[in-house]
A and B are shown apart, each in its own frame.
Chain A
Amino acid sequence: MIVVEKLNKSFNGTNVLTDISNQFEKGKTNLIIGQSGSGKTVLLKCILGLYGIDSGNIYFENRSLQKMDTKERSVLRQEMGMVFQGSALFDSMTVEENIMFPMRMLTQKSSEEMLSRANEVINRVNLINANKKLPSEISGGMQKRVAIARAVVMNPKYLFCDEPNSGLDPKTSTLIDNLIQEITKEYQITTVINTHDMNSVMEIGEKVLFLENGRKGWEGSNLEVFKTENQSVGNFIYSSNLFKKVREVYKEEN
């Protein structure tokens, strides 16, 4: 579990995150949603420790990120996996090398052990015949699968995904969403996903945090999204005609 307590973050005197408190639960897909510029990525990068925070606390199973020294942070980082918006694969390495990379850097495993573990996760994310290909030679959806495989190859306790289905078609998006949820359940990971895709919210939003102008606007689950009377959440979700229709149908049925 990750607990964020009264987190504040500003850039050059401008508040980007104000008084954010939230719990991200283990074994669940925790989503952070909000409009572009609402502070989703900054919150994610603060939790990852890539950005320092002005005040507040971030706890990883009762371990305060702010009180950790460099060595402790390094250990914590090895418990994290991250899927970046643009996949962030190393373009000079093949798919297999990308996936083996964290093991090469951080473990004492032999080449055979690394290869075996890499093949295990490659099969888990359904990457077929891509081992020796470069990232530029595979599709966006496959790149996302490689990024997920690289993120989980070290058996992380925490998985972070920054807009994992941006730039993907709806079908592939759903496949990626489901894959992340399955892995979360299977390995009992605390997964935090940053998204503004409402399909993802509906599909895998077990716990949803809505950010509005850097503040916590609403908290709930995908099942509660249609029930909430929160104006800001409504404005965000029902800006799409599709979801307006879904709400009408939902109201008629209930």
Chain B
Amino acid sequence: MLFLQDIGAYFIMLSKVFRRFTRWSVLKELIIREIDSLIIGSIGIVSFISFFVGGVVAIQTALNLTNPLLPKNLIGFATRQSVILEFAPTFISVIMAGKVGSFITSSLGTMRVTEQIDALQVMGINTYNYLIFPKIVAMLFYPFVITISMFLGIFGGYIASIYGGFCSSADFIEGIQLEFIPYHVRYAFVKTGFFAFILATVPSFHGYFLKGGALEVGKASTTSFVWTSVLIIVTNYVITQLLLA
């Protein structure tokens, strides 16, 4: 019952986010600040993880190609497919649920605990729009992060393959061009868009409606991470079924 209540509250929150807009001069600053903390601030960790996981994917693929009849360009092909279809959009999003999601929940939760949200409400400000809308707009730039992840994932695979002696540069480059289907990239970005919306709104919901004190801020961050990850995984399945099956 409480679960259904939460779902209802989430959608009511979303409807309020897009009402009674904060004035543009203020909103502009908030959006820039959110882009800085949610997007720019995530590029470092995303780049690091993507590069090394791309490398691992390439090494594991190479080590599984035991049959001498299989061409070496399959290493590049498998790395590209894994990174573009699944690793960059989905698994980076799950990682971002931990980084960005926890940040959003704890910052809004702290504002709730310290009555800063009440203070905004007393001033007659639409707190949903003021606090959550800039996060949603900032997350429109999330595909940019995923693009970097895709590039560095494949680049990591390339470096690992060449310097690990698993294949030649020409084989790897031939592999990443092999049977390239542009629709797969479109599919990856479509689901990235959905994940961005989940990443902005689900943690906001957990932070905004937090009740209690400092301990609850920690608990809410964990709950927010779990629910954001679950929703990303489920949405991933549904979108894949709809767009690829």
Interface set of A (CB-CB < 8 Å, partner B): 45, 48, 50, 70, 73-78, 80-82, 84-86, 88-91, 101-102, 104-106, 160
Q: Are B23 and A84 in contact (CB under 8 A)?
A: no
Q: A82-B119, A84-B119, A88-B119 are in contact. Are A105 and B125 (CB under 8 A)?
A: yes
Q: Are B116 and A88 in contact (CB under 8 A)?
A: yes
Q: A105-B22, A105-B23 are in contact. Are A73 and B115 (CB under 8 A)?
A: no
Chain A nearest CB, measured from B83 CB (Å): 37
List residues of chain A with CB within 8 A of the CB of B2: none
List residues of chain A with CB within 8 A of the CB of B125: 105-106
Q: A86-B114, A88-B114 are in contact. Are A106 and B123 (CB under 8 A)?
A: yes
Asked if B26 CB lies within 8 Å of chain A CBs, one says yes
Asked if B70 CB lies within 8 Å of chain A CBs, one says no
Interface centre among A70, A75, A160 (most CB of B within 10 A): A70
List residues of chain B with CB within 8 A of the CB of A88: 114-116, 118-119
A106 and B124 alpha carbons, distance in the complex (Å): 9
Chain A nearest CB, measured from B36 CB (Å): 12
Asked if B244 CB lies within 8 Å of chain A CBs, one says no
A247 and B240 alpha carbons, distance in the complex (Å): 77
Closest 4 CB pairs of A and B: A77-B124, A88-B115, A88-B119, A82-B122
Q: Are A85 and B124 in contact (CB under 8 A)?
A: no
Chain A nearest CB, measured from B38 CB (Å): 15
Q: Are B114 and A77 in contact (CB under 8 A)?
A: no
A48 and B115 alpha carbons, distance in the complex (Å): 14
Q: Are B116 and A90 in contact (CB under 8 A)?
A: yes
With beta carbons under 8 angstroms apart, the residue of A73, A90, A101 that contacts B124 is: A73
Interface centre among A70, A88, A104, A106 (most CB of B within 10 A): A88
Q: Are A50 and B114 in contact (CB under 8 A)?
A: no
List residues of chain B with CB within 8 A of the CB of A102: 123
Residues 107-138 of B, flagged 1 when their CB comes within 8 A of A and 0 if not, give: 00000001110110111110000000000000
List residues of chain B with CB within 8 A of the CB of A90: 116, 119
A160 and B123 alpha carbons, distance in the complex (Å): 12
Q: Are B23 and A80 in contact (CB under 8 A)?
A: no
A84 and B116 alpha carbons, distance in the complex (Å): 9
A109 and B172 alpha carbons, distance in the complex (Å): 62
Least CB separation from A74: chain B residue:
B124
List residues of chain B with CB within 8 A of the CB of A78: 123-124
A105 and B119 alpha carbons, distance in the complex (Å): 13
Q: Are B122 and A50 in contact (CB under 8 A)?
A: yes
What would 5 more interface pairs be, CB under 8 Å, given A101-B123, A105-B26? A73-B124, A74-B20, A77-B122, A88-B119, A105-B123
A81 and B124 alpha carbons, distance in the complex (Å): 11
Number of interface residues of B (CB under 8 A): 15
A45 and B117 alpha carbons, distance in the complex (Å): 13
Q: Are A84 and B123 in contact (CB under 8 A)?
A: no
A70 and B25 alpha carbons, distance in the complex (Å): 23
A77 and B119 alpha carbons, distance in the complex (Å): 11
A89 and B25 alpha carbons, distance in the complex (Å): 21
Interface positions, chain B 24-47, Cβ under 8 Å from A, are 25-26
Q: Are B26 and A50 in contact (CB under 8 A)?
A: no
List residues of chain B with CB within 8 A of the CB of A80: 122
A160 and B119 alpha carbons, distance in the complex (Å): 11
List residues of chain A with CB within 8 A of the CB of B121: 50, 77
Interface centre among B20, B26, B114 (most CB of A within 10 A): B114
Chain A nearest CB, measured from B117 CB (Å): 9
List 19 contacting pairs A-B, 8 Å CB cutoff, sorted by A. Answer: A50-B118, A70-B20, A74-B20, A74-B124, A75-B124, A77-B121, A78-B123, A78-B124, A82-B122, A84-B118, A84-B119, A85-B115, A88-B115, A91-B114, A91-B116, A105-B22, A105-B125, A106-B123, A106-B125
Q: Are A104 and B119 in contact (CB under 8 A)?
A: no
List residues of chain A with CB within 8 A of the CB of B26: 104-105
A101 and B114 alpha carbons, distance in the complex (Å): 17
Q: Are A84 and B124 in contact (CB under 8 A)?
A: no
A91 and B111 alpha carbons, distance in the complex (Å): 9
A244 and B123 alpha carbons, distance in the complex (Å): 41
List residues of chain A with CB within 8 A of the CB of B23: 105
With beta carbons under 8 angstroms apart, the residue of A70, A77, A91 that contacts B123 is: A77
